[in-house]
Amino acid sequence: MGTTFDVTVYRPSTESALADVDLESAFDVVRKIDQLMSLYRDDSELTALNKGAGGGETKISAPLADILQASVFYTRLSDGAFDVTVQPLVDLWGFYRVANAAVPPEGEIKKTLETVGMDHLSLDKSARTATLDAGAKIDLGAIAKGYAIDRVIAVLRERSVPAALVNLGGTVRVLGKAPGHRPWIIGIRHPRENRLIGEVRLERGAISTSGDYDRYFEADGQRYSHIIDPRSGQPVQGVYAMTVLAPNATTADALSTAAFVADGLDLLLECRNVSGLKIEPQNSGDQETSPDTLLFTVTSEPDFPVKAPFTSYEHPSVHPLISTIDHSAYRDCVWQIDN
């Protein structure tokens, strides 16, 4: 997946041999999912599906069918802000090799948009087949990390691991309590500087951040980053980062990307069991302000995972927006997985 993977497993010191096996099993899971879903491998199942576009049905594995089904769910939930068929746009903008990236001509964007959209994918989950229209391609970069983490957690649970933290490229899920029966403390990165701006206390579940600082290029003083609005074909601007807390990592990963594109917390405010943190320039609008004037907005689910999930180191007055939640209007935004 072209990213870093850390697993920390806590066991009594008498079980260190078991911990070695835990770690091996965790790496195995990630390796297998990478073999299936990486765009960077010629031999992955996803590459085969993309190459088969326009050529009828392709047989797919159960994990790929699962993740595609979750992707369809998040596209619907976000009115198309989250869309794994965005691949041709990510490619056109050059985000697979940002060193060579440049702003494409408007006409090219328009043409590429015709190949983007979930209506170009049909999925038969029971027959385990997928069909992609000619020109359409899939990129699972916004959801596969979360999915892989959830699979790892399932394996660690099966192995009766009492506590663990799994971090795949900045998406994290925890199992059990941190040592000392405390919540896990997850640092939140400053979007422009190499330091933390605050922390989240996670009792359980997962946290994921989508930011404009991971993969980007600059042209004419403007930053273009790797998350693209699939409806306009343009990289999203005006937001630095969106963090989502959810019961599992698939949900947190998909929703952080979706909310980043949807440019707001409205989507998250409608979701049961989900909290969010948005970091944007203080004067959002046309000009970027100096990086130390950040604006935070937090939504907080009353029961999940803690009452005030975010502590800002510099702005202690950041308060969650719990009061604006209309509980009767809640939607189910959590992808149900087996663990």
Q: Is 319 helix (H, G, I), strand (E, B) or coil?
A: coil
Tokens linked to 333: 């935004």
Task: Considering the complex, state which of residue 53 and residue 246 has its C-beta at the smaller distance from Mg ion.
Answer: 246
Omega cis (within 30) before 305 = yes
**DSSP notation for 259-307:** HHHHTSSHHHHTBTT-EEEEEEETT-SSS---TT-EEEEEE--SSSS-S
Residue 84 contacts ligand AMP per CB under 6 A: yes
d(CA 180, CA 100): 48
Residue 288: other Cβ atoms inside 10 A? 18
Residue 77 contacts Mg ion per CB under 5 A: no
Residue 150 contacts ligand AMP per CB under 6 A: no
- Residues between 141 and 200 that touch Mg ion (CB under 5 A): 142
Q: What is the total count of residues that contact Mg ion (CB under 5 A)? A: 4
d(CA 59, CA 23): 31
Residue 83 contacts Mg ion per CB under 5 A: no
Cβ at position 141, least distance to Mg ion in Å: 8
d(CA 109, CA 289): 29
**CB-based contacts of 142: which residues, under 8 Å, 6+ apart?**
82, 84, 210, 227, 253, 254, 257
- Binding site partner of 115, from Mg ion, ligand AMP, none, Cβ cut-off 5-8 A by kind: none
d(CA 307, CA 300): 7
State CA 236 to chain mean position distance. Answer: 15
Among 44, 85, 243, 257, binds Mg ion (CB under 5 A): 257
Task: Considering the complex, state which of residue 279 and residue 325 has its C-beta at the smaller distance from ligand AMP.
Answer: 279
Residue with tokens 């209309």: 326
Select the residue whose beta carbon is closest to Mg ion and give its number.
257
Residue 168 contacts ligand AMP per CB under 6 A: no
CB 45 within 8 A of CB 61: yes
Residue 29 contacts ligand AMP per CB under 6 A: no
Residue 50 contacts ligand AMP per CB under 6 A: no
- Binding site partner of 86, from ligand AMP, Mg ion, none, Cβ cut-off 5-8 A by kind: ligand AMP
* Binding window for ligand AMP (CB under 6 A); candidates: 19-27, 100-108, 136-144, 330-338: 136-144
Residue 226 contacts ligand AMP per CB under 6 A: yes
- Residues between 54 and 83 that touch ligand AMP (CB under 6 A): 82-83
Residue 253 contacts Mg ion per CB under 5 A: yes
CB 241 within 8 A of CB 212: yes
Count of residues for the chain? 339
Cβ at position 209, least distance to Mg ion in Å: 9
Cβ at position 167, least distance to Mg ion in Å: 14
- Binding site partner of 261, from ligand AMP, Mg ion, none, Cβ cut-off 5-8 A by kind: ligand AMP
In terms of DSSP H, where are the helices of the chain?
16-37, 45-51, 62-77, 87-93, 106-113, 144-158, 249-262, 266-269
Task: Considering the complex, state which of residue 58 and residue 210 has its C-beta at the smaller distance from ligand AMP.
Answer: 210
- Binding site partner of 227, from ligand AMP, Mg ion, none, Cβ cut-off 5-8 A by kind: ligand AMP
Q: Is 193 helix (H, G, I), strand (E, B) or coil?
A: coil
Among 261, 298, 333, 337, binds ligand AMP (CB under 6 A): 261
* Residues in touch with ligand AMP (CB under 6 A): 82-84, 86, 90, 95, 139, 141-142, 210, 215, 226-228, 230, 253, 256-257, 261
| Binding site residues, Mg ion, CB under 5 A | 142, 253, 256-257
